[in-house]
C-alpha cells in the first residue's frame, strides 16, 4: 500500500489515525506545509519501508517508536524544526539505507547505536545542534558512501575507526569544534571524492597518507591549526580540483610535487607561515583559476612563467617578501584575471603601463606597500 501526498499545499498536522494503515509500505508527505509533531502512531506501521516527511514545518522530537519499523529502508525528516535527541532506537533499523535528518534543531549526542546500521549508505546530520564526540562505532558502517556532519557543535577527535569506511565518497565534518590530529588511517579511504575538515580546531601535521586518496577532488582543511610542512605526497592527488589549506600554521616551502596536480583549479594557501621561493612547480597547473599565497613569508622574484597560467581569475601574492620587478606580461596574459593583489612586498622598478590598457578585465589591483619608482601613470 502506497500513500503519496507530497508536493501539495497541505497544512495542519499529521493525524494520529495514520497509524491504523498497517499495510502501508510507502508514506510520502514531503514538501507541504505540515506542522505539529511527528505522530507516535507511525510506530505501528510495521510494513513501512519508505518514510518521507521532509520539507515541512514539523516540530517536536523524533518518536523512538520509529525504531520498531524494521523494514525501513529510507527515512527523510530533513528541513523541519525537529528538536530533541536522535533516538538510539534508530540503531535497530538494520535494513536502513538512507537517513536524512539535516537542517533541523536536533541536540545531544550522535547515538553510538547507529554503528549497527550495516546497510546504511547515506547519513546526513548536518546543520543541527548536535554535540559530543563522533562515536567510534560509526566505523562499523561498512556500506556508507556519504557522511555529512557539518555545521554542528561536535567536539573531540576524529575517530581512527572511520578509516574502515572504504566505500566512503564524501566525509564532511566542517564547521564543528573538533580537535586533535587527523588519523593516518583515513589514508585508506581510497574512494573519497571530498574530504572537508574546514572551520574546526584540528592541529598537528597533515598526514602523508592523505596522498593515497587518488580519487579525491576536493580537499578542504582551511581554518584549523595545522602546523608543520605540506606533505610532498599531496602531489599524488591527481584528481584534485580544489585544495584549501588557508588560515593554518603551515610552515616550510611549498612542495614542487604539487605541480603534478594538473586538474587543480583552486589553490588557497594564504595566511600560513610558509617560506621559500615561489613554487614554480605550481606553474604546471594550467587550469588554475584561483591562486592565493598571500600573508606568508615567501621570498625571491615573481617568475615570468606565471603568465603561463592563462585561466587565472584571482592572483593573491600580497603580504610576503617577494622582490624584483613585476613581470611585464602579468596583466595581459589572461583575459579572465579580475583580481591582482601584490601589496606589502619588496617589489621595485616601474609599474608596467599595461595596467592602464582598457582591454584588460582587472577589477581589483593592489600594489600598495612596495618600492616602485615614482612615475606618472598618465591618469
pLDDT at 329 (0 to 100): 82
Dist CA 137 CA 159 (whole Å): 9
Strand order, beta sheet including 153-154: 107-108, 129-132, 153-154
Distance of CA 141 to the CA centre of its chain: 21
pLDDT, averaged per 10 consecutive residues of the chain (379 residues), comes to 95 96 97 98 97 98 97 98 98 98 98 98 98 98 98 98 98 98 98 98 98 98 98 98 98 97 98 96 95 98 92 96 90 81 95 70 91 64
CB-CB contact of 105 with 128 (8 Å): yes
Residue 57: CB atoms within 10 A of its CB come to 13
Q: Minimal CA–CA distance to 178: which of 242, 114, 131, 244? A: 131
Dist CA 57 CA 79 (whole Å): 8
CB-CB contact of 133 with 155 (8 Å): yes
pLDDT at 128 (0 to 100): 98
pLDDT at 126 (0 to 100): 98
DSSP per-residue letters across 264-288: --EEE--SSEEEEE--GGGGG-TT-
Dist CA 339 CA 327 (whole Å): 16
pLDDT at 164 (0 to 100): 98
Q: How many CA atoms lie within 13 A of 29 on its CB side?
A: 21
Dist CA 288 CA 267 (whole Å): 7
Query: pTM score > 0.85 for this model?
Result: yes
pLDDT at 376 (0 to 100): 44
What CATH number should be reported for the domain whose range is 1-154? 3.80.10.10
pLDDT at 378 (0 to 100): 44
Task: Give CB contacts under 8 A, 24+ apart, made by 10-18.
Answer: 10/34, 11/35, 12/36, 13/37, 14/38, 14/39, 14/53, 14/58, 15/39, 16/40, 16/41, 17/41, 18/42, 18/45
pLDDT at 266 (0 to 100): 98
Radius of gyration of the chain (CA): 26
Amino acid at each position: 500500500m502506497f500513500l503519496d501526498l507530497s508536493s501539495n499545499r497541505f497544512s495542519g498536522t499529521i493525524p494520529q489515525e495514520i497509524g491504523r494503515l498497517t499495510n502501508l509500505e510507502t508514506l510520502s508527505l514531503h514538501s507541504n506545509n505540515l506542522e505539529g509533531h511527528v505522530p507516535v502512531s507511525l510506530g505501528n506501521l510495521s510494513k513501512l519501508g519508505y518514510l518521507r516527511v521532509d520539507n515541512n514545518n514539523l516540530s517536536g522530537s523524533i518518536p523512538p517508536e520509529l525504531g520498531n519499523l524494521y523494514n525501513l529502508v529510507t527515512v527523510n525528516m530533513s528541513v523541519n524544526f525537529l528538536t530533541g535527541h536522535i533516538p538510539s532506537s534508530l540503531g535497530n533499523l538494520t535494513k536502513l539505507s538512507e537517513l536524512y535528518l539535516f537542517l533541523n534543531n536536533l541536540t545531544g549526542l550522535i547515538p553510538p547505536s547507529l554503528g549497527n546500521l550495516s546497510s546504511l549508505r547515506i547519513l546526513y546530520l548536518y546543520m543541527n545542534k548536535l554535540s559530543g564526540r563522533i562515536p567510534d562505532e560509526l566505523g562499523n558502517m561498512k556500506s556508507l558512501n556519504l557522511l555529512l556532519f557539518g555545521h554542528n557543535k561536535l567536539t573531540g577527535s576524529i575517530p581512527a575507526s572511520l578509516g574502515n569506511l572504504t566505500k566512503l565518497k564524501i566525509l564532511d565534518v566542517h564547521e564543528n569544534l573538533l580537535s586533535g590530529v587527523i588519523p593516518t588511517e583515513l589514508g585508506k579511504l581510497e574512494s573519497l571524492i571530498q574530504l572537508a575538515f574546514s572551520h574546526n580546531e584540528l592541529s598537528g601535521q597533515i598526514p602523508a597518507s592523505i596522498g593515497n586518496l587518488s580519487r579525491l577532488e576536493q580537499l578542504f582543511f582551511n581554518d584549523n591549526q595545522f602546523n608543520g610542512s605540506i606533505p610532498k605526497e599531496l602531489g599524488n592527488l591527481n584528481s584534485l580540483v580544489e585544495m584549501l589549506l588557508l588560515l593554518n600554521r603551515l610552515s616550510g616551502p611549498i612542495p614542487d610535487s604539487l605541480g603534478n596536480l594538473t586538474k587543480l583549479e583552486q589553490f588557497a594557501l594564504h595566511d600560513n607561515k610558509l617560506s621559500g621561493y615561489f613554487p614554480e612547480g605550481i606553474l604546471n597547473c594550467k587550469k588554475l583559476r584561483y591562486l592565493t599565497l598571500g600573508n606568508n613569508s615567501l621570498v625571491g622574484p615573481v617568475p615570468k612563467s606565471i603568465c603561463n597560467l592563462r585561466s587565472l581569475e584571482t592572483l593573491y601574492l600580497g603580504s610576503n617578501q617577494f622582490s624584483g620587478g613585476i613581470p611585464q606580461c602579468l596583466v595581459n596574459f589572461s583575459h579572465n584575471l579580475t583580481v591582482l593583489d601584490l601589496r606589502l612586498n619588496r617589489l621595485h622598478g616601474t609599474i608596467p603601463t599595461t595596467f592602464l590598457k582598457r582591454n584588460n578585465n582587472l577589477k581589483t589591483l593592489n600594489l600598495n606597500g612596495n618600492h616602485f619608482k615614482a612615475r606618472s601613470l598618465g591618469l
